[in-house]
């Protein structure tokens, strides 16, 4: 049941992550489509204005003589490089406000922050193949600077002029191959797209949040139910384990009565019947008040006597040094002591020594046996629920692996400590110390 639930939770988590990935993917694709659409619209509007952006560099049209004369004079060294660059710089300043106003007015409603840069990247004098510029020559750049142009278009044209022969000098044909580049970007494109996609983003987040909350609620509810089931199983395991010993003792007592009369058998039967009654009360502790009986000095002897009667082939030696009633639940102390004793019997002990003492407001219980012992690697696991020692043939050792688990649980309930020492194939000793107040 628990394993199946874990698989369902894992599947649910995987599907949620898949849904999250799909949502993120489609949001990303929607962002890209919207970005391309905005750039397409802006590019169309700007292109209509920049088809003749040569005007910003001093060119009225592609056959105008003004730029041609400047190029020829620079090539013929009639003007210096500084004068050549100043010509374009002057025209750039003259036209800067014009294009800035056009861009701002055109996209004022949309709120686009646009940067444009137009430059000559190459000017070649065709007759001799010489280059007039060795780096891009900026014709125009808006106040907003282009940092990463998203759209860049390159244009190439040829300007030609022919002069007739004069004063006996032959005419000349001056041709220039000019390459220009226009780049632009929308600097606030991300904020624009996020604003337009705000509603879609909120809806996606709301859907994911709803699925996640449903997932968390389901997991918490499932965990709560599993905890209830575990508690129920623990109660059933506890009670079923506790019923084993008195029932087995009663069976043996019944056989003994059939064989011969023994006056000690009746008190033993009474004690086991009383224990069964107390176990029944535990099953209905929510319905009845249930009085907790403290453990009396003589009770320790009765616990060991019951063990000795149930396992006559094992020698139990009790050293009893408790002379007063102690504030511990009698049923729990009986369970603790008998589980330790039965565990020793199960693993081959023929001699079990039990020492019970009371000092400095601490109940001390020591149980040692001459059984098969416990390997060092097993010591940290023997108190786990359902754990059974693997170094022995567990098929020949009956039990559910609950005895030591309940011992540890009882000791922990009273804030005590339990230590185990063992020599394989020699002996095992359990030492328990439980504090109490008068």
Contacts of 148 (CB under 8 A, 6+ apart): 185
- pTM comes to 0.45
Same domain for 7 and 151, yes or no, is: yes
Q: CA separation (Å) from 203 to 23, 208, 216, 217?
A: 11, 9, 20, 21
313 plus 422 within the same structural domain: yes
Residue 37 has pLDDT above 80, yes or no: yes
The reported pLDDT for the residue numbered 61 is 39
Domain boundary among 196, 211, 241: 196
Domain count, the chain: 2
Alpha carbon dihedral 266, 268, 269, 272, in 10-degree steps, equals 160
Euclidean distance between CA atoms 200 and 52, whole angstroms: 40
Q: Name the average pLDDT for the chain.
A: 79
263 within a domain of the structure (yes/no)? no
250 lies in a domain? no
* CATH number of the CATH domain containing 338: 3.30.565.10
Band of the pLDDT at 419, cuts 50, 70, 90?
very high
8 and 137 part of one domain: yes
422 part of a folded domain: yes
Query: Is residue 333, in this structure, part of any structural domain at all?
Result: yes
Range from 69-78, 96-105, 285-294 that averages highest in pLDDT: 69-78
Confidence at residue 240, expressed as pLDDT on a 0 to 100 scale:
62
**Residue 431 to residues 289, 408, 411, 422, Cα–Cα distance (Å):** 33, 12, 11, 11
| Domain carrying residue 101 | 2-163+172-196
Query: Do residues 178 and 308 share a domain?
Result: no
pLDDT at 183: 85
Higher pLDDT, 342 or 391: 342
Alpha-carbon 152 to chain mean position = 44
Tell whether 179 is covered by a domain. yes
Report CA dihedral (162, 167, 170, 174) to the nearest 10 degrees: -30
Q: Looking at residues 172-179, what average pLDDT do you find? A: 86
Domain shared by 188 and 326, yes or no: no
In the chain, what percentage of residues exceed pLDDT 90? 11
Q: 259 in a domain, yes or no?
A: no
pLDDT of residue 417: 94
**Band of the pLDDT at 411, cuts 50, 70, 90?**
very high
What confidence category does residue 201 fall into, taking pLDDT thresholds of 50, 70 and 90?
confident
Angle at 46 between CA 90 and CA 115, to 5 degrees: 60
Tens-digit pLDDT profile for residues 88-143: 888 777 777 777 888 888 888 888 888 888 888 899 988 888 898 888 888 888 88
Of the pLDDT bands very low, low, confident and very high (cuts 50, 70, 90), residue 70 is confident
- pLDDT tens-digit readout, 214-261: 878 877 887 777 776 776 666 666 666 566 667 667 666 666 665 666
Structure confidence at residue 435 as a pLDDT band (50, 70, 90): very high
263 band by pLDDT with thresholds 50, 70 and 90: low
The model's pLDDT over 367-389, given as tens digits with 9 standing for 90+, comes to: 999 988 888 888 888 888 777 66
Angle at 416 between CA 415 and CA 417, to 5 degrees: 135
**Residue 47 and residue 183 in one domain:** yes
Q: Which residue has the tokens 């169309």?
A: 44
Q: Is the dihedral of CA 284, 290, 293, 294 positive or negative?
A: positive
Percent of the chain with pLDDT over 70: 75
Q: Do 187 and 303 share a structural domain?
A: no
- For the segment 55-60, the average pLDDT, to the nearest whole number, is 42
Q: Which residues of 153-174 are buried (b: 16+ CB within 10 A; e: fewer)?
A: eeeeeebeeeeeeeeeeeeeeb
Q: Is residue 9, in this structure, part of any structural domain at all?
A: yes
Residue 287's pLDDT band (boundaries 50, 70, 90)?
very low
Give the pLDDT mean for 176-193.
88
State the Cα–Cα distance between residues 24 and 16, nearest whole angstrom.
12
Together in a domain, 189 and 305: no
Is residue 49 included in any domain, yes or no? yes
Is residue 176 located within the same domain as residue 318? no
């Amino acid at each position: 049941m628990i394993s199946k639930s874990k698989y369902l939770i894992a599947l649910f988590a995987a599907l949620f992550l898949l849904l999250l990935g799909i949502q993120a993917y489609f949001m990303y694709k929607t962002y890209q489509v919207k970005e391309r659409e905005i750039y397409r619209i802006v590019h169309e509007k700007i292109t209509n204005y920049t088809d003749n952006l040569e005007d910003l560099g001093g060119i009225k049209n592609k056959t105008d003589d003004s730029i041609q004369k400047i190029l020829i004079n620079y090539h013929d060294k009639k003007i210096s490089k500084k004068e050549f660059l100043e010509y374009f710089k002057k025209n750039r300043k003259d036209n800067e406000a014009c294009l800035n106003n056009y861009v701002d007015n055109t996209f004022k409603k949309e709120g686009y922050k646009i940067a444009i840069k137009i430059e000559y990247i190459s000017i070649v004098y065709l007759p001799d193949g010489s280059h007039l510029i060795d780096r891009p020559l900026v014709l125009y750049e808006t106040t907003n600077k282009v940092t990463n142009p998203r759209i860049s278009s390159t244009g190439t044209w040829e300007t030609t002029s022919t002069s007739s022969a004069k004063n006996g000098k032959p005419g000349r044909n001056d041709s220039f191959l000019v390459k220009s580049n226009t780049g632009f970007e929308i600097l606030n494109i991300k904020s624009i797209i996020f604003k337009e996609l705000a509603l879609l983003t909120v809806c996606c987040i709301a859907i994911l949040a709803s699925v996640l909350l449903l997932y968390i609620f389901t997991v918490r509810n499932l965990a709560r139910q599993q905890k209830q089931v575990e508690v129920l199983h623990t109660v059933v395991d506890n009670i079923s384990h506790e019923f084993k010993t008195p029932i087995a003792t009663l069976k043996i007592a019944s056989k003994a009565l059939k064989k011969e009369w023994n006056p000690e058998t009746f008190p033993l039967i009474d004690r086991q019947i009383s224990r069964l009654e107390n176990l029944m009360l535990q099953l209905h502790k929510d319905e009845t008040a249930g009085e907790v009986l403290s453990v009396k000095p003589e009770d320790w002897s009765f616990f060991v006597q019951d063990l000795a009667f149930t396992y006559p082939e094992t020698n139990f030696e009790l050293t009893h040094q408790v002379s007063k009633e102690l504030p511990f639940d009698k049923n729990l102390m009986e369970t603790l002591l008998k589980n330790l004793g039965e565990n020793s019997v199960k693993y081959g002990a023929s001699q079990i020594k039990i020492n019970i003492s009371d000092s400095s407001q601490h109940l001390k219980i020591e149980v040692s046996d001459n059984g098969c012992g416990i390997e060092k690697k097993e010591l940290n696991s023997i108190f786990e629920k359902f754990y059974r020692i693997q170094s022995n043939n567990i098929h020949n050792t009956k039990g559910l692996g609950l005895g030591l688990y309940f011992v540890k649980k009882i000791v922990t309930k009273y804030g005590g400590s339990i230590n185990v020492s063992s020599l394989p194939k020699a002996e095992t000793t359990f030492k328990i110390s439980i504090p109490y107040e008068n």
